[in-house]
Every structure is written in structure tokens, then in C-alpha cells.
Amino acid sequence: MNTIAEKKLNETFMAGSCSPANKRLFSAVVSVNKQIGRRFFRLELEFSAADAEVLANCQPGQFAQLDLSATALPPAEAIPENLVDVASRKILLRRPFSFADVTVKGDKTFVDILYCVVGPASLRMTTVSAGDSVSVIGPLGNGFCVPEGKSITLLVSGGMGAGPLLYLAKVLTADYPQLEVIAFAGAKTASQLPFEARLDEISQQLGFSLGEFAKYGVESIVATDDGSAGFAGLVTNCLTEWLDRHTLAAKDMIIYSCGPEAMLARVAEIAEERKLDCQLSMERMMACGIGLCQSCAVECKATDSSETTYKLCCKDGPVFNSREVTFSL
């Protein structure tokens, strides 16, 4: 059941305010850590009392830094072959993860994180279980904004980029019932789609609904590079085909995207060619996550000259207007 705290979240988001909520250091309690694919997990963290109130106000696109330095490694047989050499590396820095869902139940807030096992910290993350404590700094960064006058939003994700867009889908459908929301979810192959849907349920047809988006009433279109599910090809080609088939006014549409940098660069290009508004959630290696170390620079176009300038992914982002980012791929 929703409470006042959840209503507050919606009001902040509707006002189009992308300023970060008050960041803090929290001790969260793990309620679920479930494997949903070969390398994919869903972690649910529980926050109580005053902490719950702060987390309830976080916006889609914001993220948290998790401390996994003291978390145990899984047994040797559970360590993927390509991570054996790096598994025992010391984890000095916190790692950033986006919010894939935020749910308020009474005086508790539950935050979901979808994560992929790619290195020593995410490998350790697989060993936390219900009842464990995790140190979290958040909510960090800005969030996605909804400009006025839009009627169609296209959510374009690649791989793990689906996490923040799932939370965005939830908030958009709850707060903007007049908006049509369509999700494009891409991956190299069907087994790399970070969803709980059983792979044998993934149809070869366009228009297949992923359960995670369908529960918000959002149509989803799957694209895999190898054609093992949905559209055969890059999710950006799938997006282009969709845009070609639908004659819609550019001013009515907005694209939100999160995923690998090459995909974001192509999404920005598509938006530029078709004069569409577009917001991108960028990723950088992050040391502090709070604007102090300057390790997360994103090259952007300066507003008053042809020069470029650097913004901080953790503080000025991670969400950027696609028109301001300079990609150098």
C-alpha cells in the first residue's frame, strides 16, 4: 500500500525537479538477493523509519554507492572462469548501482537493484543474504525529467541498462497516465536479457511483453544482436524501424536511454537526426560518487562556444541531455 512518502516522490518527479535528494550514509538490511539469470541478480534492500522516508523520495535515474569491501567471496566452484584471477582483489571503493524499483510499504521502503556479475565487487555481492547489513550512500546524482507536452515516451535499454528504466516505467505510468510508454530492451543474446521472464516464453515476435514492464502496463519490444529473441539486430536498429513505421510528431516524443556507451551514442544520433528530446543515463568508473575526486568526467558541449567542457557523471549526471554529450567512440 502506498503512503504519504510515496506520494511525495511522485510530486517531486512531476515538478520536473532533477535536483538530488538529500544524500546520506545508510545501513540497509538485505531482504532478497535472488539470481534471475546466469550472471544476473536482483537485490532488494530494506530501509526503516527516517531512512525509509529519504529513500522513498529518490528519483528514477539516481543511484547509490554500496560498500562491498567486507563481503565474502562465493566458494571457488561458483566463481566464473573469467573472474578467477580478479576475484580476490581488495575492494577499496564503493560501487555505484541504480534503483530498479522503490516500493513503500507502511514505514519501510524497499529498494531493488538489478546487477550483473562482472568483477570482484559484484561477485561478492552474490553472497549477501536476507538479514545481512549493507552500507549504502545515496540517493546520488540527478534523475530523469519529464518535459511538458509529451505524449509518447520510448525507453531504450541495453543489457543492465534496463534497471533504472524499469523504475522510470513505474513512475511514468503512475504519475502520467496520459503518456504512452514503450520499452525497447536489447541484449547480445536472449540469455543476457536481465529479466526474470523464462527464456522459453520469449517469443520471436515483436511486441512480446516482458513481465517486468507489463506489470506497469508498458509494452516492451525485445531485440537481440543474434536474433535469439525478438527483433534480430541492435536495439537501436529496432528503435529506428519503429520510428519509421510510426508517423508521430517529434515534439510529442521523448527517449530515455541507459546502456553501453556505443548504444547511447547511437541513440543520441537517432534523436538528433529526428529532432527528438532524449535523456541518457551515462556510466563512468566512480571513486567517490559525490563530486570530490573528479574521476567520472563526461565530455560535454559548452553552451556558449564550440569548445567542450567536462561535467561530473556522479553529480551533474548520471542523466544528461543527449544534445550536450560529446561521444568519442
Ligand X SMILES: Cc1cc2nc3c(=O)[nH]c(=O)nc-3n(C[C@H](O)[C@H](O)[C@H](O)COP(=O)(O)OP(=O)(O)OC[C@H]3O[C@@H](n4cnc5c(N)ncnc54)[C@H](O)[C@@H]3O)c2cc1C
Contact 317, 323 (CB under 8 A): no
Contacting residue, 199, 285, 293, 297, with ligand X by CB under 6 A: 285
**H or E element, residue 111:** strand 108-116
Contacting residue, 8, 284, 301, 315, with ligand X by CB under 6 A: 284
Establish if 120 lies at the interface with ligand X (CB under 6 A).
yes
Establish if 116 lies at the interface with ligand X (CB under 6 A).
yes
Round to whole Å and give the CA distance between 136 and 64: 6
Residue with cell 537501436: 236
Establish if 56 lies at the interface with ligand FES (CB under 6 A).
no
Contacts with 244 (C-beta within 8 Å, 6 or more apart), sequence order: none
As measured in angstroms, the least distance from the Cβ of 43 to ligand X is 9
Establish if 291 lies at the interface with ligand X (CB under 6 A).
no
Establish if 137 lies at the interface with ligand FES (CB under 6 A).
no
The residue among 37 and 96 lying less far from ligand X, judged by its C-beta, is 96
Q: Which does 292 bind (CB under 5 to 8 A by kind): ligand FES, ligand X, none?
A: ligand FES
The residue among 60 and 230 lying less far from ligand X, judged by its C-beta, is 60
Establish if 96 lies at the interface with ligand X (CB under 6 A).
yes
* Burial letters 303-314, b for 16+ CB under 10 A, else e: eeeeeeeebbbb
Q: Is 294 helix (H, G, I), strand (E, B) or coil?
A: coil
Residue with cell 520469449: 202
Residue 213, all three cell numbers = 514492464
Look at residues 5, 2, 38, 20 and name the one whose alpha carbon lies nearest to residue 159: 38
Residue 91, all three cell numbers = 575492494
Beta strands in 146-285 (DSSP E): 152-158, 180-187, 219-224, 231-232, 253-258, 277-281
Establish if 213 lies at the interface with ligand X (CB under 6 A).
no
In the region spanning residues 63 to 102, those forming contacts with ligand FES, defined by CB under 6 A, are none
**H or E element, residue 51:** helix 49-56
As measured in angstroms, the least distance from the Cβ of 317 to ligand FES is 9
Round to whole Å and give the CA distance between 284 and 311: 11
Contacting residue, 9, 121, 136, 185, with ligand X by CB under 6 A: 121
In the region spanning residues 256 to 315, those forming contacts with ligand FES, defined by CB under 6 A, are 286-289, 291-296, 312, 314
As measured in angstroms, the least distance from the Cβ of 311 to ligand FES is 10
The residue among 202 and 264 lying less far from ligand X, judged by its C-beta, is 264
Q: Is 293 helix (H, G, I), strand (E, B) or coil?
A: coil
Establish if 318 lies at the interface with ligand X (CB under 6 A).
yes
Contacting positions for ligand X (CB under 6 A): 63, 95-98, 113-116, 118-122, 160, 163, 283-286, 318
Question: Footprint of ligand FES on this chain (CB under 6 A)?
Answer: 286-289, 291-296, 312, 314
